[in-house]
């Protein structure tokens, strides 16, 4: 089995995996970074969202063999102490109910705000529309993203 050298949350790590293994399973099963969740396995729900070179990306769709040069950030690496503005806003707005989708939601929001520091409500809604929340916390999610934008500014 091939060995892949990855940069995950600022650390250089080596993992042994088949070349077509999705990043999601390497993170969860090999690196014990279980904050990234399995939702659908086809890139539709957003539960598995991580950052690849700063861009929100569905980890269930990425083969490990394509990531040796990439900088991978998971929810565990977004902030060591939970003080990223998006994480703070999530707590302040009491966003999670079941919490299952929240890591993916937060990673999507953080990436979005890196590219648009002063979004409108419709831009927030559009940016977050690819992440599903079975508890329907969408209004709180939108408010938290808007609040995080203000914190970042």
List residues bridging with 73 in a β-sheet.
51
Is the pTM of the predicted complex or chain greater than 0.85?
yes
Q: Which residue has the tokens 């399995």?
A: 38
Residue ranges of domains in the chain: 3-77, 85-152
Domains 3-77 and 85-152 share a fold: no
Q: Distance (Å, rounded) from C-alpha 60 to C-alpha 136?
A: 23
Beta-carbon contacts of 63 under 8 Å, excluding residues fewer than 6 positions away, are 19, 20, 21, 22, 23
Q: Distance (Å, rounded) from C-alpha 11 to C-alpha 85?
A: 23
Q: Distance (Å, rounded) from C-alpha 153 to C-alpha 151?
A: 5
In words, the CATH class of domain 3-77 is alpha beta
Q: How many degrees, rounded to 5, is the angle at CA 37 between CA 135 and CA 56?
A: 95
In words, the CATH class of domain 85-152 is mainly alpha
> Residue 153: pLDDT above 90?
no
- CA dist list (Å): 120 to 42, 127, 149: 29, 11, 10
Going by C-alpha positions, the residue among 73, 90, 97 that lies closest to residue 8 is: 73
Per-residue pLDDT tens digits for 59-80: 999 999 999 889 999 999 999 8
Please say whether the beta carbons of 19 and 63 come within 8 A: yes
Per-residue pLDDT tens digits for 99-143: 899 999 999 999 999 999 999 999 999 999 999 999 999 999 999
């Amino acid at each position: 089995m091939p060995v892949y050298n990855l940069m995950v949350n600022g650390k250089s790590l080596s993992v042994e995996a088949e070349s077509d293994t999705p990043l999601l399973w390497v993170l969860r099963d090999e690196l014990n970074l279980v904050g990234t969740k399995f939702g659908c396995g086809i890139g539709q729900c957003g539960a598995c969202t991580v950052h690849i070179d700063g861009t929100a990306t569905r980890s269930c769709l990425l083969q490990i063999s394509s990531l040796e040069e990439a900088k991978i950030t998971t929810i565990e690496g977004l902030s060591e102490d939970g003080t990223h503005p998006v994480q703070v806003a999530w707590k302040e707005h009491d966003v999670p109910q079941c919490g299952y989708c929240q890591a993916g939601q937060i990673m999507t929001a953080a990436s979005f705000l890196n590219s648009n520091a002063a979004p409108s409500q419709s831009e927030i809604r559009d940016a977050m529309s690819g992440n599903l929340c079975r508890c329907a916390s969408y209004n709180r999610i939108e408010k938290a993203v808007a609040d995080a934008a203000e914190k970042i500014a």
